[in-house]
Amino acid sequence: MPYAESNLALEKQGDPIFQTILKINHVMKKSMFFLLWLFSFFFGFGNVRMSAIFSDHMVLQRNKPIPVWGRAAPGENVMVEFNRQSKLVRADSSGRWMVRLDPEKAGGPFTLMIRAGNNLTFHDVMVGEVWICSGQSNMEFMVRSVADAETEMADAGYPQIRHFTVHRDISSTPKEELTEGHWDVCSPETVGDFTAVGYFFAREIFNEIKIPIGLINATWGGTVVETWTSKNTLERSDDFKDIITEISHFSQDSLFEAKKRASVKYLSQLTKKIESLQGGVNNFRDIDQWMKTDYDDSKWPQMKLPGQWEKQIKALKYLDGSAWFRKYFTMGMAEEGKAAKIHLAMIDDNDWTYVNGVLVGSSDVWNKKRIYDVPEKVLKSGKNVVAIRAVDGGGGGGIYGNSADMQIVVNRKNISLAGVWSFKVDSMSTKIPDVEPNDFPCLLYNAMINPVIPYAMQGVLWYQGESNAGRAFQYRKAFPMLIKDWRSHWGTGDFPFYFVQLASFNEDNGNSKNGSTWAELREAQLMTLSLPNTGMAVTADIGDSADIHPRNKQDVGKRLAAVALKNVYGKNIICCSPLFTSREMKGNSMILSFYNTGSGLMAKDKYGYLKGFEIAGADSIFHFAKAFIVGDKVIVFSDSVNEPVAVRYGWADNAGEDNLYNKDGYPASPFRTDQWKGITEEEKYTVSL
């Protein structure tokens, strides 16, 4: 008979075995019901999820409460377990939940478990020091591109250094979580993609304190400080509140439409400018002849190379597209038919290079030096021509770098190719670009910083400012505003905020005579040291006059690490550059005083001569000055200035040869003693709508 019927028959017969089975069944059902109820009460049945910043191999900040957060079903109970800690939390009505684990000492590896309707387990979790690395391209700059990169990567056996890259993203409203990304363990195979400044900083710290170091890399090349700042801070600022009011009603879609309208208008204007520059409507019917020796380019406009086209020709500002460059050079009989090498500095982004109509090379790496082989029988005695088609997909375009890297080498003879070239634009991108980070304020804060908050960390490393140099005076407000903004949102007090003063780069031949946007930006950075718990690495001496991305990131990381080792980790070291404090006029000399002189001031020069000082009288005309060190002071004078009123040091885009240091190896920060009006005071932040 069926099982149910059989049981009923036994029950009616009063079978004692069946009565026992029935009682056991009843108890099991009650127990199962209780367990299901208990599980439901504690954990619910939803799916818990977390921001991508929580992943295997992560580093959590030591000695501070550790926020752990995510999303779940509304009202769902979530248990967080870590290293003998257990914390229970119920998700709110929108599904958000957060716990703050008690502070932990450095160590690991541990496991972080999140228990709810589903379980999440994160393995190989370390507790140590976490630093946010942010800014533009010089912080974004990867280890694989630094000087001696192969050696650095081969020696990168530091498994307790971990790196998380915040993927590039923009948003018109603050995002709550990162949807992609993972922590990488430092090794020769992974370190190439790490932020170089951050890695060299972490390596120095780890070698001193021997605890895990986590780097969170939130960077985007070419970006301005305003895009990294939150809306609620900018709207309280006199300088920015009108802009925030203007765009506050825009969604990301409407921002795109505004960008599209502005781009269409700009492209129309750019087309007219290029046509005017090139003598009317462009005719490209003979483009297949442009690489040949006997082509007549006498009516083409000209520019000096190396130098990106945006900086050479106003009509080409913001041009994305392609252009041809041509230059003649002369060979003697001894060089005819010989193989040669042609050096063309760097070309942004792609190039096809011809010599006498023969394609000798091509590359699509924007920051790689071009060195191509010229085969035998290509060169002729007399007139030869090099022709280059350069294609730029965005940002700066053309041929840039050091003049010494533009030459042709043949038969042990070096022929310079730097100087005047003929050029012609042959195409212009008409693609309407997406909204980009600099188009509107707050976009990167919303998408790349807000989702990281409140991840526990020790401090911030910041390398940015190149893109704000044209508005350096306004940076005096905008940069401190960002620091206060981030500190306010993290809500953990005045955490360390250490930044890099701009390295030397010959942006626009700026100096005291012409005015220097880069010098004014460095001054704004110097003034930011008035905020508590800030520090600055001076790098004017380790830049590259021809490359905005100097490859010596090792010393940048070391100088930032020195500040942290002293101020955060209590090491008894000298960590800072000499900074000007006061002046005193004595006769025809100016006596300058400094602090952070460490073991004393010195001229880093084999002859002991100081370079980089200028002095001016009431006429505001600066003259190169003689300077010498007396104790912790520098005495400056010039035979051309009898009654000096102002001194400047390193006041130029490229201050790389200036050589006042302390004996501990740190270069003095560029400075000026005057407050005369600079060239950026009237420049203000704007958006195009």
What is the mean pLDDT of the segment spanning 375-396?
93
d(CA 156, CA 560): 19
Residue 45 has pLDDT above 70, yes or no: no
* E strand or H helix at 561: helix 554-567
Contact 66, 60 (CB under 8 A): yes
pLDDT at residue 155, rounded to an integer: 97
Give the 3-state secondary structure of residue 274.
Answer: helix
pLDDT at residue 689, rounded to an integer: 63
Q: Which has more confidence, 329 or 285?
A: 329
d(CA 179, CA 53): 9
Closest CA relative to residue 44, chosen from 89, 111, 98: 89
Residue 36 has pLDDT above 80, yes or no: no
* Position 148, amino acid: D
Residue 23 has pLDDT above 80, yes or no: no
- 286-428: CATH topology is Jelly Rolls (2.60.120)
d(CA 434, CA 10): 78
pLDDT at residue 281, rounded to an integer: 57
Residue 4 has pLDDT above 50, yes or no: no
Residue 40 has pLDDT above 90, yes or no: no
- Positive or negative: CA dihedral 172, 178, 179, 185: positive
Strand 534-537 versus strand 497-500 pairing type: parallel
d(CA 115, CA 149): 43
What is the mean pLDDT of the segment spanning 246-269?
76
d(CA 120, CA 404): 57
Helices (H), 214-347: 231-234, 241-247, 252-277, 309-312
pLDDT at residue 22, rounded to an integer: 42
Mean of all residue pLDDT scores within the chain: 90
**394 burial via Cβ count (<10 Å: 0-12, 13-18, 19+):** middle
544: which residues sit within 8 A by CB, 6+ positions away? 402, 503, 504, 505, 550, 551, 656
Contact 322, 427 (CB under 8 A): yes
* Whole-number percent of the chain with pLDDT over 70: 92
**150 burial via Cβ count (<10 Å: 0-12, 13-18, 19+):** exposed
Q: Give the chain's length.
A: 689
> Confidence band (pLDDT; 50, 70, 90) for 449?
very high
pLDDT at residue 32, rounded to an integer: 43
* 210-253: pLDDT as tens digits: 999 999 999 999 999 999 999 999 999 999 999 998 887 777 77
Residue 8 has pLDDT above 50, yes or no: no
Residue 130 has pLDDT above 90, yes or no: yes
Q: Which has more confidence, 526 or 17?
A: 526
Question: Which residue do the tokens 């760097």 mark?
Answer: 346
What is the mean pLDDT of the segment spanning 58-72?
98
> Confidence band (pLDDT; 50, 70, 90) for 10?
very low
> Confidence band (pLDDT; 50, 70, 90) for 340?
very high
Q: What is the pTM of this model?
A: 0.82
Distances (CA, A) of 186 to 70, 137, 148, 371, 551: 27, 21, 18, 33, 20
What is the mean pLDDT of the segment spanning 157-171?
97
Question: Which residue do the tokens 């393995």 mark?
Answer: 123
d(CA 498, CA 534): 5
Give the 3-state secondary structure of residue 303.
Answer: strand
Give the 3-state secondary structure of residue 90.
Answer: strand
What is the mean pLDDT of the segment spanning 519-530?
98
Residue 34 has pLDDT above 60, yes or no: no
> Confidence band (pLDDT; 50, 70, 90) for 394?
confident
pLDDT at residue 518, rounded to an integer: 98
Q: Hey, which bits of 589-645 come out as E strands?
A: 589-595, 601-603, 613-616, 622-624, 626-630, 633-637
* E strand or H helix at 133: strand 119-135
Residue 163 has pLDDT above 60, yes or no: yes
Residue 16 has pLDDT above 50, yes or no: no
* E strand or H helix at 463: strand 459-463
Phi, psi for residue 538 in degrees, rounded to 5: -80, 130
677: which residues sit within 8 A by CB, 6+ positions away? none
